[in-house]
Amino acid sequence: MNAARAYKEGALKIEDNYEESSLILRKAMIEYAHSGTWKEAVELLDQKPELETLLTQRFQLYLRTCADNNAGKTDIATKRLIRFVSEQEKGSKEEFDSDYNRRRKEALELIQRYPDEHNLPDKNFKGRVKAALLTLEKSGGSRESDLERRFQLELHEMKDIFELTLLGEQIAEQNPLRGIRRFEEAIETGYFKGRQVEQLRNTQRAVFVSQRTNIPIKDRRTLKNLGLKPLILVDTNVLIHALKDDLLQEISNDDFGSFDWSVERSFHMMLRRQGGKETFLSIPPAALSEFKNRVKNPDAVLALFNDTYIDRKQWKKKVTPDFLKKKVKQICKSFSTWPQEDYSNKLSKIELEEFLLKHENIFELVDEQKRKRTEDIPVRTELNGKEIYPEGGDMEIMRDAASLASLPLQEIGNILVATRDSDFRLVSRALEEEYGFGVVSDAQQLNSRI
């Protein structure tokens, strides 16, 4: 609780810096959740409506449900959950098809795992989700729900691994993703050890392998036991920081370069260290084009060191056009461990305009901050008469990430964009919720996602 209040006070002191203040407020909300201080969390959410963009709808639902339940408003909490999944599943035509109730129950089952996935307290949440599920069960049963009840009984009471595996496979026959999630749930309970866990994982893996072409990446994000790797799309700013760091080492007398351990430095170093091992790395075409344009000659690169002392004599001696070309090639290679060009023809055109307009207030403040930081007018995109939205290259990266997240690519479990750009960072939760890809902007965030 003390950490949450400290973050809140710190954010309020730097309100003029919208980006940093907002990101610190997000940390405050997370700390409130970890400490179970629901009332203060909801009060802050109501006081700062901009947080609605920084936090996923599910996290907001989690906070409000826990606050209601903790205050004894159990009926309101249950209805809130049902209303949330009802709005989510009814579709764009305001119609209720025959699968509506089944989809609502599936959505609730996913939501029930939210605290486990994010290491949050579940005391005030899981019970309410179960109550919401029971409410929906009363409105109509099915063989599928009967299989689910038998699976839950076997999992929590009988614990017969062979029967559990058989029921999981039967659920997967009707709904592969649902079956895979049931195996995930069983593995993470901690009820089973050694060979039993191995059997569950092997069966889960077999189901996934046979059905992966029907499961897009955005639906795999919570499947931690399949051994899938994240695919990380690297933005221009990360490439530039990496190049600058490499060049500093080249022109320093001791080959160490800068001793400053910055957020940017630790980020690109961890990305390169993990690329091809724990993750796949790829440079989107828009980022690659911008990077090569900004580092096309030694003078252009030297201008990027506006906040760092450079020995001009050493620079001219070492950083020749040929040497720079070689270094740029090395950087591109180190951040390209996945052949995106093989999949370029599969990418679809994703519509972004509605999403951007929905978050107009955020981009207005981002644009204001960008203009304050530089004398040059930043490149922005105009929509509805306002030139405040991300530049074309950033929008292309968003489209690429969203399109990849919708594909059932082999061995990929998540799509992430590695960037320090506030156009991504301040709507990161909204992007993940809307399009199914995440954003990482430092080593700590990266470590938590791999």
Report the pLDDT value the prediction gives residue 16, as an integer from 0 to 100: 64
- 62 vs 18, more confident: 62
Angle at the Cα of 30 from the Cα atoms of 132 and 400, rounded to 5 degrees? 85
Lookup result for tokens 């009984």: 153
- pTM over 0.95? The answer is no
The pLDDT mean for the chain works out to: 86
Residue 404: closest CA among 286, 302, 284: 284
Q: Residue 101 — very low, low, confident or very high, per pLDDT cuts 50/70/90?
A: confident
CA distances from residue 73 to 35, 123, 129 in whole angstroms, order as listed: 20, 15, 14
Is residue 11 over pLDDT 70?
Answer: no
- List pLDDT tens digits, range 113-156: 888 877 888 889 989 998 998 888 776 555 556 888 888 889 88
Q: Could you tell me how far CA 360 lies from the centroid of its own chain? A: 21
- For the stretch 15-39, what's the b/e string if a residue is b when 16 or more beta carbons lie within 10 angstroms of its beta carbon? eeebbebbbbbbbbbbbbbebebbe
What residues does each domain of the chain span?
A: 2-152+160-166, 153-159+167-214, 216-450
Q: Could you tell me how far CA 247 lies from the centroid of its own chain? A: 31
Q: Kindly give, in sequence order, each residue whose CB lies less than 8 Å from that of residue 410, ignoring residues fewer than 6 positions away.
A: 212
Q: Residue 200 — very low, low, confident or very high, per pLDDT cuts 50/70/90?
A: very high
Greatest alpha-carbon pair distance for the chain in Å reads 79
Hey, what are 298's tokens?
């030694």
- List pLDDT tens digits, range 205-254: 999 999 999 999 999 988 889 999 999 999 999 999 999 999 988 887 65
Q: Which residues pair with 382 in a beta bridge?
A: 387
The answer to whether 63 and 69 have CB atoms below 8 angstroms apart is no
Angle at the Cα of 194 from the Cα atoms of 191 and 196, rounded to 5 degrees? 60
